[in-house]
Amino acid sequence: MSETLLEIVIRSIFVSGIATMIGLAIGIPVGAALGLWKLQRKRATHGRRGRLLLLALVNTGMGLPPVVVGVFIAITLSRSGPLGFFELLYSVPAIIIAQVVLSAPLSAGITYATVASLPERFILQLRAFGANGRQVFRELLWESRLGILAAAAVGFGQVISEVGAVTIVGGNIEGSTRVMTTAIVLEARKGEFIAALGLGLVLLALVFGANLLVARFQESRR
Amino acid sequence: MKNFATLLLIFSISMTMVGCDPSKSVVTLASTTSTEDSGLFSVLAPAFEEDNPDYELRVIAVGTGEALELGRRKDADILLVHAPISEIEFIESGHGVNRKEVMRNDFVLLGPSDDPVGIASAADSIDALEMIAKAESDYVSRGDESGTHKKETSLWDEASVQPPFEGDWFISTGQGMGNSLTIASEKQAYILSDKATYLTRQDNLELSALFQGGSDLSNFYSVIEVTDASETEGAKAFSDWITSAAGKSVISGFGSDEFTEPLFIPTQE
């Protein structure tokens, strides 16, 4: 392998880090809005169907099979696909797109669960202090920050460990789209089980590290 | 609790046995992705089982490197691979016996149909590779130490320039033949492929066969019986069958109707 292990590790962190952040940027507002709806469900009646549908979609999204996401994105980005002119298939942006699709529903789902578990009187109190809708929303997010941090760690852990979609849309190209999981598959296929195991341990350590960081943060703020 | 755990273990083991015919012995064959991607085993396995009703053939399609490693670990009973130098090493270190050449499959250099570098007029395969390298035209390499990749490497070794190259034009995928072909088609890059996989995949590829022929573009497959494997009898049965007239006729018949030429050419004694 002329590419160093370190380069692959750094690329994986970079790609999955960006994807997780974009996933959070999409997932948090959606999840928080759904959570807010749950808290206010007694009064909110309009648009109920749409919200139920959205919640079902988020829950489905949390269990999306990565390879199916990979195949779908590959078809879309392929030269003969609708977005072919961007020539994005087998590039880092293609991997990021796939990982965003996988991590955004997770972020939304966990944010929703956290916000929805807040006491209902919390909103009533805020309103009593004269908070407007935007301020309520901000306060809710602030109160849910620990859950959202957990969403970040779970999302990162999921996308950096994923191999099916990344292989299909990234192509495991050396020096460009080879990430830790695809490198592990390659080493195993070559019969280099020790190298595969070594990379696997580095991957585990990374996911563990991300969760440890979040756990420490959660403990100190509780 | 302990009893429960034991029961659970027995249950799960018996569940994995379901689907196996207990009267048959399972022969595990480790082979390469290029043979699997072409679909040869879907014809070969039933034919072998029909002629040898005592055995059930299970095929694990991996890279040649992993296939040999499976043999070293005795996880496979027999190998069907194509990397002569590694095969001889495998046998010399005592892991296998009875290496027999089974068939040949030719390699072909593929690329965009407009052939920007003009390899169609190359003197030989090495000249063609040199032309691609000189023009720094996109080129997809398997890069997975498979038999096809080893072939590719041996061709580059003869050329005046060798990988690793600077620049983005040399794309090393580290994947099987089928996936690498898809990537080459998307990127409109040159690629060395075995003919069988190319022919079976050509309908959904935007690639043309630009250069073929010459003895250095042939791929020789051999069977090796793994020593001390769990099913040495079955391994021998498969080895004998695939090199017999019955096995050879299945190989030469595979794909002849669909592609006007056989995908694999059995070795003549």
Domain assignment of residue B14, yes or no? no
User: What is the mean pLDDT of the segment spanning B181-199?
Assistant: 92
Are B144 and B197 in a shared domain? yes
Is B65–A188 a contact, with Cβ atoms under 8 angstroms apart? no
Residues forming beta bridges with residue B26, ordered by sequence position? B56
The predicted model gives B208-236 an average pLDDT of 90
B69 touches chain A (CB under 8 A): yes
Q: What is the ipTM of this complex?
A: 0.73
Domain of residue B79, residue span: 24-105+219-266
Q: Which residue has the higher pLDDT, A190 or B82?
A: B82
Average pLDDT, chain A: 88
User: B94 with B112, same domain?
Assistant: no
Could you tell me if B94 and B196 lie in one domain? no
Looking up tokens 């051999």 gives B222
Three-class SS state of A105:
helix
**Which of B195, B217, B239 is the C-terminal boundary of a domain?**
B217
Kindly provide the residue ranges of all beta strands, DSSP E only, lying in chain B, ordered along the sequence: 25-32, 55-62, 78-81, 96-111, 139-141, 170-172, 190-194, 208-212, 218-226, 265-266
Amino acid at A106: L
Interior angle at CA A202, CA A198 and CA A205, nearest 5 = 135
- One domain, residues B89 and B113: no
Nearest CA in chain A to B204: A80
**Residue located via tokens 């720094």:** B136
Q: Using an 8 Å Cβ cutoff, are A7 and A15 in contact? A: no
Residue with tokens 């070795």: B267
Over the stretch A117-173, which tens digit does the pLDDT of each residue have?
888 888 888 888 888 888 888 888 888 888 888 889 989 999 999 999 999 999 898
Which pLDDT score is estimated for A95?
96
pLDDT tens sequence across B13-54: 655 555 556 678 889 999 987 787 778 888 999 999 999 999
A-contacting residues of B 179-198, CB under 8 Å? 179, 183, 185-187
pLDDT tens digits for range B134-173:
999 999 999 888 888 888 999 999 999 988 888 889 999 9
Out of B69, B186, B206, the one facing A89 most closely (by C-beta) is: B186
Q: Do A2 and B164 touch (CB under 8 A)?
A: yes
**CA-closest candidate to residue B151, choices B217, B221, B223, B222:** B217
**Total number of domains in chain B:** 2
Indicate whether B234 pLDDT > 80.
yes
B192 and B247 in a single domain? The answer is: no
Per-residue confidence (pLDDT) for residue B1, from 0 to 100: 57
Chain B partners of A78 at a C-beta cutoff of 8 Å?
Answer: 186
Q: For chain B, first and last CA: distance in Å?
A: 62
Over residues A43-71, the mean pLDDT reads: 84
Query: Which of B186, B202, B217 marks a domain boundary?
Result: B217
Please check whether residues B248 and B262 belong to one and the same domain.
Answer: yes
| Whole-number Å distance between alpha carbons of B135 and B249 | 44
Q: What is the mean pLDDT of chain B?
A: 88
Tell me if B6 is assigned to some domain. Answer: no
Contacts of B62 in chain A (CB under 8 A): 189
Query: Token digits for B222?
Result: 């051999």
**Does residue B15 belong to any structural domain of this protein?**
no
- Cβ–Cβ pairs < 8 A, chains A and B: 59
B44 domain residue, yes or no: yes
Chain A closest CA to B153's CA: distance in Å? 14
Question: What angle, 0 to 180 degrees and rounded to 10, lies between the N-to-C axes of helices B245-253 and B41-51?
Answer: 150
Compute the distance between CA of residue B269 and CA of residue B261 in angstroms, rounded to an integer: 21
Domains of chain A, earliest start first: 5-221 (1.10.3720.10)
| Same-domain status, B136 and B123 | yes
**Shared-domain flag, residues B91 and B118:** no
User: What is residue A85's DSSP assignment?
Assistant: G
pLDDT in tens, A63-121: 999 999 999 999 999 878 898 888 888 899 999 999 999 999 999 999 999 998 888 88
Q: B138 at the A interface (CB within 8 A)?
A: no
pLDDT at site A132: 84
What are the backbone dihedrals phi and psi of residue B9, each rounded to the nearest 5 degrees, phi first?
A: -65, -45
pLDDT class of A1 with cuts at 50, 70, 90? very low
Burial A13-24 (b: 16+ CB within 10 A, else e): bebbbbbbbbbb
CA distance linking residue B264 with residue A56, whole number of Å: 51
Q: Is residue B172 within 8 Å of B141, Cβ to Cβ?
A: yes
> Does the beta carbon of B86 lie under 8 angstroms from any beta carbon of chain A?
no
The answer to whether the pTM exceeds 0.90 is no
Same domain, B117 and B241: no
CATH number of the domain at B239, please: 3.40.190.10
Give contacts of A175 with chain B, Cβ < 8 Å: 168, 172
